[in-house]
Amino acid sequence: MSGLSAAVKTSTRVISIDALRGLVMFTMIFVNDLAGAPHNLVPGWMRHFHGASGMTFVDLVFPAFLFIVGMSIPFALGARLRQGAALWQIIGHILIRTVSLLAIGIMMVNDEAPGRDMSGLAPEVWATLMYAAAILAFCSIAPRTAGAAAPRWRGVTWMLRGVGLLGMLTLAFMFRGDKGQRIITLSPLFIHTDWYGILGLIAWSYLVGALVYLMFRANSTALLGCVVLLLCLYPADRTGLFEGVWLSRYLGIGEMLGAHPSITVAGVLLASVLARGEDAGLGARVRFGSLFVFGFAAAALLLNGLYGINKNQATTSWCLWACAITGALWLGFHLVCDGGPPPKFARIIALAGANVLLAYLLSEMLPSTLDVLHLGDWYGHLAEGSLFGAIARSAGCGVAILAAATGLNRLGFRLTL
């Protein structure tokens, strides 16, 4: 049995996937931070593309996460299936994870609302407390040296989760928007959101991708068919097929249940060759990955004229290019990491990618925390002198956030959804 096959049988971690996730997480922190630099300093290719059709590497960060979510599904859910978990338990886990991501995403979206009133709390204080509460609500503490004290740490975990959930609920009820709107009301029951946020969009894609995996497992033909069907929802939506459908009042069916999940299911498709373990050697995996990349790139070229390439509109060609490019990046990491002992740089990146939700929340928490500490102006000035200064600040931010998250992970503090 190859090293990768053994890893698949005994763990849900695959070094190449973790390394790819770590690279994408660093890129996300970098570009988000760089977006705060003066626009006259930052060239167009380092920002989101603005125009009718086109994209930069910045427009690939979000779909890359959707793709990696899909690649992780066969290992995470496959491990539960091998352990004998009942189907209803797995579906329950999927639904809880989806709702949890939606909850954090909705809180984050409302934090961006203009003219918000926090019932006595400054907006930056509310935001800092909200992110801290979200981190505690889904934390898990399990030090490697816990030993006989493991039950005590589980008790601490549940206590912190309770504090975090109570904090999120309290902050949600405290919130008032510029027109008096609330995040949540009980009578009538209503949850306010203009959109679901990045984590919310990931939640819908995860839900679709996980359910597709449960239906078809590692059946590559069926998974490819699902990718095509999901992509078809986008033009169907654009041509008015779902007008009047009750679900369309809450979700953009073509985007949130079609285009975005198609990227996630494409990730499931590519990971299916890994999930087969010893039935697919290195040569077979490379051939499958290469055909995947060239096939999706060819489809992107052929369909470019349909709606063009546009991230905000989640066009078909953009989805296909995202799958092809992310698949190519994974294939490179696979050749370096999974055929034998991975090099040191890959191990470092993989460590950073083992639990990126914590890093993401810390990065989003940083601006409000700096404002609370009256360091926001100082931090902003670091990126105002030159492009080099802006890049250095953003790269340093990415390294520092990932190092902090990795350090917490190694101490046994993780986020578990």
| pLDDT tens digits, one per residue of 148-202 | 778 899 999 999 999 999 999 999 988 887 777 788 888 787 787 778 999 999 9
**Predicted pLDDT of residue 118:** 63
Q: Name the helix (H) or strand (E) containing 355.
A: none
Q: Is the pTM of this model over 0.75?
A: yes
- Average pLDDT of the chain, as a whole number: 90
Q: Would you place residue 333 in the very low, low, confident or very high pLDDT band (cuts 50, 70, 90)?
A: very high
Closest CA to 140 of 128, 158, 152: 158
Beta bridge partners of 203: none
Beta bridge partners of 47: none
Q: Would you place residue 7 in the very low, low, confident or very high pLDDT band (cuts 50, 70, 90)?
A: very low
**Predicted pLDDT of residue 335:** 92
Q: Would you place residue 211 in the very low, low, confident or very high pLDDT band (cuts 50, 70, 90)?
A: very high
DSSP track, 243-292 = TT-GGGGTS-HHIIIIIHHHHHHHHHHHHHHHHTGGGS-HHHHHHHHHHH
**Strand 184-186 to 139-141 pairing:** unpaired
**Predicted pLDDT of residue 266:** 98
The whole-angstrom separation of Cα 93 and Cα 116 is 34
Specify the higher pLDDT residue, 341 or 310. 310
